[in-house]
Structure 1
């Protein structure tokens, strides 16, 4: 009954959950026919679905040969990331592996069978992935190999040091996410589905990645603490506590929230770049692929802002909210309206005594300037009372059925949670 109470508090979620479940998902993640693919590619898409909770569906919705290039790009980076995450690999072995990983793309028999990580299949069967990599057009191979090389070097750099300054925070996020944004943008342009400027403007592409990565790092404070990982920059948190772990202590909750708000303010500075980047995209499948994670991120930051729960548990956006964002974020005007909505939500929560309040207000003003609300805002939040009443009645009758959404839908809406 708790699920039903949540729905009744957000009737717009009911409408979009029903619409999504009854076939609306096909607009953003049409079903892919894998029967015509070769054995190697089918295996790669199986690994994609096994290892990606957030991006598998939208990758498979991309148009033409770009779909295969992005699938292989994802799996190559997943394999690289699995090496980085595997704490059973000694540093004197791991560092050279990260530096040289890109070269294994051209070694048909290379694989690694000693990993203990949950996604180890991408290392154990790397020959299948590297074979399909070599089957891609050279223009795609060159992008994937180059990004893999740069990311491996960056990962190795941060294995033995923590993130101290805000500059280093940007640098770390560049290595693990900004480079992904740059690589994807180059693939988009190489496919000719997007103009060359999309792949050439690395600053905007980097901001796309940094906004997502910073959101994840901010939201995952407690989980990372429990796993012994620290990604919040010392330059910021040291102004509020002697140790980063001290922010989780109940007696420090007020300063912890102030630290949280400062980092969210930092992340919000990427939003204007995100909007500019998305405004250049022409292909619908590419736009959906890029826009959906970004609107999930802004919604997540709005949920985390000034929220003590970040230090006590997990802050997630509602499933219905995630589906609503997926269904709406299909054009730049709608994305601008979504960005405007959530920065306004943050603005309303800014404490007058917060040390970062002026900076938060300033960055929100800059976002307002390029995302003024238009007709999409109205269409996103105003529904006929009769229509909503019918939707609520239907939800009340079928809430238990809807709580068991298909696994594909469940995984995909968690894009806002991962």
Structure 2
């Protein structure tokens, strides 16, 4: 289905796309992104390597924007070394382990990637990244160096792990550890950057399980969705501890006779990912600055929407499924407030439970776990208490109550955007109606009969 057809059949998503494109105002100017030639080059590399990440990074408060942009490019460079199978192990492994040391150099670049490596420019142009990195606040630099060191060593360990390379991820514990190195550490770094900038509660630093869940929820969603692509490339990230319950080989799920078991396996993995939801919602309640909140919230609402899409969906076994462009626009607009994010999670959790097959081996576990999330959300607001009953002032209730002062102005902006859209719609409708009256009115009708 083409994008135009998708928009026509989903008018609310069309409205979201129009509001996002024409009525939503950027939070901050981006004029400072061209301050120096090196900085301009860095933002060019950002757009070259990821349009989606570039869009959300450009929305960030200028205090944090360059730090996050450089953090992303440095980890992208590290990942480009790790992903390139043309680089010999005796070059790759030491480079990954020592990559953090390159960040202390004045100049360094690497041209050892394959010419076909799509992101090789991040390494060949690394000098520009280094020059801007050295202009950052030292506290930001220290965080980025620490995460780069941990991630580089984790990548090197996996390259040298023969069991992993031959048989993929084995246990759920291994699954969590792999996701920690590729995504949990990113959550760690971003959290520290936001706390240093005073855009997030310092309490987050003391609760690593929260930022760990932020990364794991995203990465597990991607791993479930990317099954067909990974199988084609000879990779295996679904944990054997789960998939072996449903089949003898991971590749067997692509056979028609094994589709049902493959779908049950997908659902089991979705259930595993949903274990992080309460941590994700708790984390988001602690982000105070508006652009930082949106930066964190948008990927998470995309993840829950994607989980709902892959749930009970046999297409995952054969192709890479994606949420519609219009759905993405709608999620971006609705996730600007904390209540908007919670509503999105509730909507997709209801959708998952509605489509849950009673024959699914995890039918009871799904219902119990979603009920626990529902109870957690009810605890946030406690709107329907009997008269005279005071709310139970739990940690999450107090956090969400505090967030109201940040969200109220945003809700006013949302109403204004919808009002402007409705006015545009009224003008367009009136214009079209006027044209029809002119060309199809009584005088024209009389002329056509003469």
Please report the TM-score for the alignment, with normalisation by the length of structure 2: 0.81
Deviates most, 191-200 or 67-76:
191-200
Tell me the SS of whatever aligns to 1:65. helix
> Following superposition of structure 1 onto structure 2, how do residues 106-121 of structure 1 map, counting pairs within 5 Å?
106-116=104-114, 117-121=117-121
Preserved CA contact (<8 Å) 1:188 1:199:
no
Preserved CA contact (<8 Å) 1:95 1:156:
yes
User: Could you tell me which of 96, 99, 123 is aligned with 1:98?
Assistant: 96
Q: Return the alpha-carbon distance in structure 1 between the equivalents of residues 190 and 54 of structure 2.
A: 15
Q: 1:45 to 1:279 in 2, by over 3 A?
A: same
2:223 aligned partner = 217
CA offsets, 1:322-346, max 9 Å, x none? 1000011011111111100000000
User: Could you tell me which of 196, 200, 206 is aligned with 2:206?
Assistant: 200
Deviates most, 344-353 or 231-240:
231-240
Q: Return the alpha-carbon distance in structure 1 between the equivalents of residues 302 and 26 of structure 2.
A: 18
Q: 1:131 to 1:35 in 2, by over 3 A?
A: closer
- How far apart are residue 353 of structure 1 and its match? 0.8
Greater RCO, 1 or 2 (C-alpha within 8 Å, sep 6+): 1
Q: 1:389 to 1:189 in 2, by over 3 A?
A: closer
User: Could you tell me which of 339, 345, 352 is aligned with 2:345?
Assistant: 339
Preserved CA contact (<8 Å) 2:6 2:326:
no
- How far apart are residue 22 of structure 1 and its match? 1.8
Q: Return the alpha-carbon distance in structure 2 between the equivalents of residues 62 and 124 of structure 1.
A: 27
2:386 aligned partner = none
Q: Return the alpha-carbon distance in structure 1 between the equivalents of residues 360 and 71 of structure 2.
A: 42
Whether 2:265 is the aligned partner of 1:265: answer no
Whether 2:332 is the aligned partner of 1:310: answer no
Q: Say what the alpha-carbon RMSD is for the aligned residues.
A: 2.6
Whether 2:249 is the aligned partner of 1:251: answer no
Q: 1:37 to 1:346 in 2, by over 3 A?
A: same
Q: 1:388 to 1:296 in 2, by over 3 A?
A: farther
Q: 1:61 to 1:199 in 2, by over 3 A?
A: farther
Whether 2:297 is the aligned partner of 1:299: answer no
Please report the TM-score for the alignment, with normalisation by the length of structure 1: 0.87
- How far apart are residue 314 of structure 1 and its match? 2.3
- How far apart are residue 2 of structure 1 and its match? 5.0
CA offsets, 1:375-395, max 9 Å, x none? 999x99xx99x969959x98x
Preserved CA contact (<8 Å) 1:11 1:388:
no
Q: 1:192 to 1:35 in 2, by over 3 A?
A: closer
Q: Return the alpha-carbon distance in structure 2 between the equivalents of residues 362 and 27 of structure 1.
A: 41
> Following superposition of structure 1 onto structure 2, how do residues 144-223 of structure 1 map, counting pairs within 5 Å?
144-159=144-159, 160=161, 161=164, 162-223=168-229
Q: Return the alpha-carbon distance in structure 2 between the equivalents of residues 53 and 2 of structure 1.
A: 20
1:413 aligned partner = none
CA offsets, 1:57-98, max 9 Å, x none? 211211132111111100110000001100001122211111
Preserved CA contact (<8 Å) 1:143 1:183:
yes
1:81 aligned partner = 79
1:64 aligned partner = 62
Tell me the SS of whatever aligns to 1:135. coil
2:22 aligned partner = 22
Tell me the SS of whatever aligns to 2:103. helix
Preserved CA contact (<8 Å) 2:228 2:316:
yes
Preserved CA contact (<8 Å) 1:272 1:366:
no
Deviates most, 184-193 or 14-23:
14-23
CA offsets, 1:268-305, max 9 Å, x none? 11010000000011100000000000000000000110
Q: Return the alpha-carbon distance in structure 2 between the equivalents of residues 269 and 77 of structure 1.
A: 27
Deviates most, 105-114 or 182-191:
105-114
Unaligned runs of 5+ residues in structure 2 are: 384-406, 433-450
Q: 1:104 to 1:17 in 2, by over 3 A?
A: same
CA offsets, 1:111-167, max 9 Å, x none? 210102210111112122122112111101110000000011111122232211000
CA offsets, 1:337-363, max 9 Å, x none? 110000000000111010111221122
Q: Which has the larger radius of gyration?
A: 2
Q: Return the alpha-carbon distance in structure 1 between the equivalents of residues 93 and 368 of structure 2.
A: 42
Preserved CA contact (<8 Å) 1:186 1:200:
no
